[in-house]
Amino acid sequence: MTEITSKTFTKERAPEIERVFGDLGKHWGWLLALGMLFIVLGTIALGMSVTLTVVTVLFFGVLLSIGGIFQIVEAFKCKGWRSVLLHILIALLYITAGVMLITEPIAGSLALTALLGGAFVATGVLRIVMGFHLKGTGVRWGWVVFAGVVSLVLGGMILFQWPVSALWVIGLLVAIEMLFHGWSYVMIALAAKSIR
């Protein structure tokens, strides 16, 4: 029996791997550096979750305002459209919400955190129900139930600690996303390095 090594496995699958990674194998160092940068920034952000929460809420407010302005401009260019008034009303809601988030980021963070906690609870319940519906189908339903329980517990923790949680939850989630983003880039870069 011949032993299959990672090199022969890679050679056998070279066309497929080349299609997936392209030139990344030649430039893996840049992706590794980017991943490390995200890990460092995410780690720093963990210690600044309150500041990051406020910055994220302000950024979201700016995005809503810009989106609303562009929607109004677009609505005035669509003369004769029967739904133009509704389009303008939606745009005004975007602008109003955006301005409120910009002028009152703490109040905005309270509202967004409550929505986030509620969304985690609702998602958790739905995943648990879906998991039990998958029972007996051969699908690993236990993992779906587990994911639902985790979402439910996280949402419960956020809501139980609300309004205090509004100061740090959004920033913490952004920091965690940066860390996972960084680690995924590191893993992809190391995989690409091995195929050079």
Instruction: Give the single-character DSSP code of 80.
Output: T
Any domain includes 8? no
Any domain includes 127? yes
pLDDT confidence band for 82 (50 / 70 / 90): confident
Any domain includes 65? yes
Any domain includes 181? yes
Q: Return all residues near 67 (Cβ < 8 A) that are at least 6 apart.
A: 91, 94, 98
Any domain includes 106? yes
Any domain includes 1? no
Q: Are 66 and 74 in contact (CB under 8 A)?
A: no
Of the candidate ranges 55-59, 91-95, 182-186, the one whose mean pLDDT is the lowest? 182-186
pLDDT confidence band for 3 (50 / 70 / 90): very low
Q: Is the pLDDT of residue 12 over 70?
A: no
pLDDT confidence band for 1 (50 / 70 / 90): very low
- Split into its structural domains, the chain has a count of 1
- What digits encode the pLDDT tens for the residues 107-157? 999 999 999 899 999 999 998 999 888 887 777 888 889 988 998 999 999
Question: What's residue 191's pLDDT?
Answer: 77
Average pLDDT, the chain: 84
Any domain includes 56? yes
Q: Side-chain half-sphere of 195: how many Cα atoms within 13 Å?
A: 23
Q: Are 182 and 42 in contact (CB under 8 A)?
A: yes
Question: What's residue 20's pLDDT?
Answer: 60
Share of the chain above pLDDT 70, in %: 86
Q: Is the pLDDT of residue 98 over 70?
A: yes
Give me 31's structure tokens: 């992706």
Q: Residue 52 belongs to what domain range? A: 23-193
Any domain includes 155? yes
CA atoms of 23 and 125, how far apart (whole Å)? 43
Question: What's residue 21's pLDDT?
Answer: 63
